[in-house]
Amino acid sequence: MTGPRFRALPADGDPLRVLLVGAGGMGRAWLGTVAASPDVTLVGVVDLDPDAATAAADGVPGAVAGTDLAAVAAASGAQAVINVTTPAAHLPVTLQALGLGLPVLGEKPAAASVAEALRLAAAAELAGQLFMVSQSRSHDRHLRRFRDQARRLGPLGVLTTEFFLAPRFGGFRDAMAHPLLLDMAIHPFDAARYVLDAEPVSVYCQEYNPSWSWYAGDAAATAVFEMTGGVRYVYTGSWCSPGLETSWNGGWRLSGAHGTATWDGEGPPRSSLDPAPEPADDGAPGGIAGALAAFVHALRTGTPPRGEIHENLLSLAMVDAAVLSARTDRRVLVAELLDAAHREALAAAGPEREALSSWPSARTPQ
Ligand SMILES: NC(=O)c1ccc[n+]([C@@H]2O[C@H](COP(=O)([O-])OP(=O)(O)OC[C@H]3O[C@@H](n4cnc5c(N)ncnc54)[C@H](O)[C@@H]3O)[C@@H](O)[C@H]2O)c1
């Protein structure tokens, strides 16, 4: 992989003109965040459902609504796309936007599989445009503090996340395969890489659906990852676990040679070595506002952000490797999974094939 190289946009003092694709539940959250940001201005909305696109653009002066991304991009003079479609649509929408020469900020997961995400990394290279995945939960200031505490624990042994909730979404999650691993566990997997500053080597996972589950796909899983440096990351979660629920970030515990840090996923993390209260809020935006600010900063400065597609691939690789392990009931090596995904991506690729075939390895350069 040639790695993240993308065209920066001049910091001309004007807000970035953005086009939102996908005006569903999360799209509405993004509309609020875009409206509140001085960095961007909404110039268009696209959805397969014309009424949803029109309703989302309603009241935004000059915003164009429609069902055709190319047409709305041209009519609105958009400079960037925010892709908030369902995971299955991430590949075609982001491919099209990059092909139009537009940088993309996409909701997690990058795509429905690592093979698809590899095609998007190649398409971003081909277009010379930034594709950043919004991992909103990675912009939490408490997570940053937890990571700082991790640095002081000495050699690390094991990091655990426990995630137990019982949401009734309706919609695509109830019908999709692997709803917990693909739609939710991508958040803690990405955060685990960040906290440990380590990459996944292998995983053993069991995925299952409790008898009372209201999801069609497996809504519970336990996965044991070996990370670089030998540290283990153990994730156990369920999306149909009513009562005494955890936070949406889950409950975290990190054990090192010199001490332990814990985080309930909501408040300040605690460390046995550093009982001082958390420093005051530095005002940096969190959640999707944090992802949007990082995207605009990256475009203005040319500095690759966390979540840039090449960097983000290994978070999705953790998901796919866990799913494969559960399906085959064996330990899966992430390097093998990446090689297989690379072959699959090559077989399916369009114009991005040349960039894909130029990579000596699908393993992201670290
Ligand atoms: N970061 C978070 O905390 C968080 C929370 C919820 C959802 N999400 C992510 O946001 C994304 C959207 O989730 P949602 O809950 O809003 O889903 P949703 O089903 O409510 O909305 C998706 C919208 O995309 C539209 N769409 C689908 N394919 C399209 C295409 N090809 N072109 C244009 N529009 C298309 C649909 O018509 C729908 O309006 C998912 O990737 C999900 O994982 C992230």
Question: How does pLDDT run across 16-28, given as a tens digit for each residue?
Answer: 999 999 999 999 9
- Higher-scoring residue by pLDDT: 162, 282: 162
For residue 366, what pLDDT is reported? 33
Q: Which long-range contacts (CB under 8 A, 24 or more apart) does 151-155 make?
A: 152/258, 152/259, 152/271, 152/273, 152/274, 153/254, 153/255, 153/256, 153/257, 153/258, 153/259, 153/260, 153/261, 153/271, 153/273, 154/256, 154/257, 154/258, 154/259, 155/256, 155/257
**Beta-strand (E) ranges in 140-264?**
156-164, 200-208, 220-227, 232-238, 251-256, 260-263
Residues 126 and 188 grouped into a single domain: no
Q: Is residue 57 part of a domain?
A: yes
Q: Is 93 in the pocket of ligand 1 (CB under 6 A)?
A: yes
For residue 58, what pLDDT is reported? 95
Q: Is residue 323 part of a domain?
A: no
- Alpha-carbon distances, residue 105 vs 160, 181, 252, 291 (angstroms): 29, 22, 28, 8
Q: Is residue 156 part of a domain?
A: yes
Residues 153 and 203 grouped into a single domain: yes
Picking from 158, 121, 86, the residue whose alpha carbon sits closest to that of residue 313 is 121
Residues 98 and 183 grouped into a single domain: no
Look-up of token digits 């268009």: 44
- Nearest CA residue ID for atom 1, ligand 1: 136
Q: Is 167 in the pocket of ligand 1 (CB under 6 A)?
A: no
User: With bands split at pLDDT 50, 70 and 90, how would you rate the model's confidence at 12?
Assistant: confident
For residue 283, what pLDDT is reported? 78
Which residue, 222, 242, 269, sits at the end of a domain?
269
Residue 120 belongs to a domain with what CATH number? 3.40.50.720
Ligand 1 test: best mutation among 72, 107, 173, 319, most atoms within 8 Å of CB? 107
User: With bands split at pLDDT 50, 70 and 90, how would you rate the model's confidence at 1?
Assistant: low
Residue 295 CA to ligand 1 centre (angstroms): 19
192: CB partners within 8 A, 6+ apart: 159, 161, 225, 227, 233, 235, 318
Q: Is residue 364 part of a domain?
A: no
Of how many residues is the chain composed? 366
For residue 364, what pLDDT is reported? 52
Instruction: Give the rounded percent of residues in the chain with a pLDDT score beyond 70.
Output: 98
User: With bands split at pLDDT 50, 70 and 90, how would you rate the model's confidence at 114?
Assistant: very high
Q: Which atom of ligand 1 is least distant from the CA of 29?
A: 16
- Nearest CA residue ID for atom 39, ligand 1: 24
What stretch of H or E contains 332?
strand 332-333
Q: What is the pLDDT of residues 37-51, one digit of tens each?
A: 999 999 999 999 999
Residues 301 and 225 grouped into a single domain: no
Residues 149 and 183 grouped into a single domain: yes
Residues 127 and 152 grouped into a single domain: no
Q: What is the pLDDT of residues 242-272, one digit of tens each?
A: 999 999 999 999 999 999 999 999 999 999 9
Bond from prior residue into 351 cis (ω within 30 degrees of 0): no
Residue 25 CA to ligand 1 centre (angstroms): 7
Map 97-121 to HEC letters.
HHHCCCCEEEECCCCCCHHHHHHHH
Picking from 266, 256, 249, the residue whose alpha carbon sits closest to that of residue 232 is 256
For residue 2, what pLDDT is reported? 52
- Angle subtended at Cα 22 by Cα 137 and Cα 76, rounded to the nearest 5 degrees: 115
Residues 187 and 247 grouped into a single domain: yes
Across the range 136-147, mean pLDDT stands at 90
Q: Which atom of ligand 1 is least distant from the CA of 171?
A: 19
Residue 136 CA to ligand 1 centre (angstroms): 14
Average pLDDT, the chain: 94
Across the range 325-346, mean pLDDT stands at 97
For residue 101, what pLDDT is reported? 97
Distance CA 335, CA 313 (A): 12
Residues 127 and 74 grouped into a single domain: yes
Specify the number of domains making up the chain. 2
Q: Is 94 in the pocket of ligand 1 (CB under 6 A)?
A: no
Q: Which atom of ligand 1 is least distant from the CA of 28?
A: 16
Residues 106 and 146 grouped into a single domain: no
Residues 45 and 106 grouped into a single domain: yes
What angle in degrees, to the nearest 10, is found between the helix axes of 50-57 and 25-36?
20
User: With bands split at pLDDT 50, 70 and 90, how would you rate the model's confidence at 206?
Assistant: very high
- Nearest CA residue ID for atom 7, ligand 1: 26
Residues 156 and 230 grouped into a single domain: yes
Q: Is 52 in the pocket of ligand 1 (CB under 6 A)?
A: yes
For residue 298, what pLDDT is reported? 96
Residues 83 and 23 grouped into a single domain: yes
Distance CA 179, CA 177 (A): 6
**Beta-strand relationship, 131-134 and 104-107:** parallel
Ligand 1 test: best mutation among 19, 20, 21, 26, most atoms within 8 Å of CB? 26
For residue 282, what pLDDT is reported? 78
Q: Is residue 145 part of a domain?
A: yes
Residue 91 CA to ligand 1 centre (angstroms): 13
Q: Is residue 77 part of a domain?
A: yes
Residue 84 CA to ligand 1 centre (angstroms): 5
Ligand 1 test: best mutation among 85, 104, 295, most atoms within 8 Å of CB? 85
Residue 67 CA to ligand 1 centre (angstroms): 15
Residue 83 CA to ligand 1 centre (angstroms): 8
For residue 360, what pLDDT is reported? 77
- Is the separation of the CB atoms in 225 and 314 below 8 Å? no
360: CB partners within 8 A, 6+ apart: none
Residue 171 CA to ligand 1 centre (angstroms): 10
Residue 188 belongs to a domain with what CATH number? 3.30.360.10
- Strand 64-66: give its sheet, edge to edge: 64-66, 40-46, 16-21, 80-83, 104-107, 131-134
For residue 363, what pLDDT is reported? 67
For residue 86, what pLDDT is reported? 94
Question: Which residue range(s) make up the domain with 101?
Answer: 16-137+287-308+336-357
Q: Is residue 3 part of a domain?
A: no
Q: Is residue 227 part of a domain?
A: yes
Across the range 143-171, mean pLDDT stands at 96
DSSP string, 246-285: --TT-EEEEEESS-EEEE-SSS--EESS--SPPPPP----
Ligand 1 test: best mutation among 84, 94, 132, 168, most atoms within 8 Å of CB? 84
